[in-house]
Chains A and B, each alone.
Chain A
Amino acid sequence: MNTHPYLRAYLAGVFLPTLVLPLLLALFIVVRIVLQAPVPIERAIIFPMAVVPSLFGLWNMLYLASHERTHLPIGLHGAVLPLLMAPAGVLTATCLGVLEFSSHGTTWFQALYVPYALIAPCFLAALAGYYLVWKFIVGCLNRALGIA
């Protein structure tokens, strides 16, 4: 198990987003086709499909490369990722018309309104969620693949 540690780190990183993506896609299709909600699925799915899994994999490779020097726990390492992903996601969503800004808040997927006052709590919740995901899921996979 000492061969290709970075490949194993990448695979451990992409595991969760790859697992979630089909469920997300199914959910979006149900909302769009069954419930007839005007959600721009084809534009909304680009970021979770193309960017998130790759970023997770690359971030786990970075963890493997830097852990010897930083000794940062994997949960904290994962909690840093939203600092990169949040601007990237917002930029992508804005460019694709998935996210719209108004005077009092943001509208996601042309359906979900999130006021500006709740952006900071949302970001903190994302940090907490990423901390837990990386500590318990990616960390567990790293141990299972012999790279922790």
Chain B
Amino acid sequence: MKKLLQQALPPVDSDAAPGRDLWPAVKQRLDARSDRTQSISPASIRWELLDLALLAGLAAFAAFLPASIPVFLYYL
């Protein structure tokens, strides 16, 4: 069993290093994560609330004036 395991997992060279510099990729991922965190700002939340308010207003308008629905569909 020990022999089989040693054959399956060859010894790792202690001086082995990756073939390329990994730091730029790490930095890019960290920057991307930072951008995502910044995008959830109070300003963006305000915009999302505005979008929801517009959607609710549209639904209310369509309920108030159902005759407008085919006219809107005519323009879509």
Q: Indicate if B55 sits at the interface (CB-CB under 8 A).
A: yes
Of the candidates B70, B72, B75, the one having the most CB atoms from chain A within 10 angstroms of its own CB is B75
Q: Encode contact with B along A114-131: 1 for CB under 8 Å, 0 otherwise.
A: 100010011001101101
Chain A 102-148 interface residues, beta-carbon cutoff 8 Å to B: 108-109, 112-114, 118, 121-122, 125-126, 128-129, 131-133, 135-136
Contact of A125 among B57, B67, B74 (CB under 8 A): B57
Q: How large is the interface on A (under 10, 10 to 19, 20 to 34, 35 or more residues)?
A: 20 to 34
Q: Are B58 and A20 within 8 A (Cβ)?
A: no
Residue B31 lies at the interface, judged by CB distance under 8 Å to chain A = no
Contact size range, B = 10 to 19
A85, B75: Cα distance in complex, Å: 7
Contacts of B70 in A (CB 8 A): 108-109, 112
For the complex, give the distance between the alpha carbons of A108 and B68 in Å. Answer: 9
Nearest CB to that of A125 among chain B residues? B61
- Can you offer 10 A-B residue contacts whose CB atoms are under 8 A? A24-B73, A48-B73, A52-B75, A112-B70, A114-B68, A122-B68, A131-B54, A132-B55, A135-B51, A136-B51
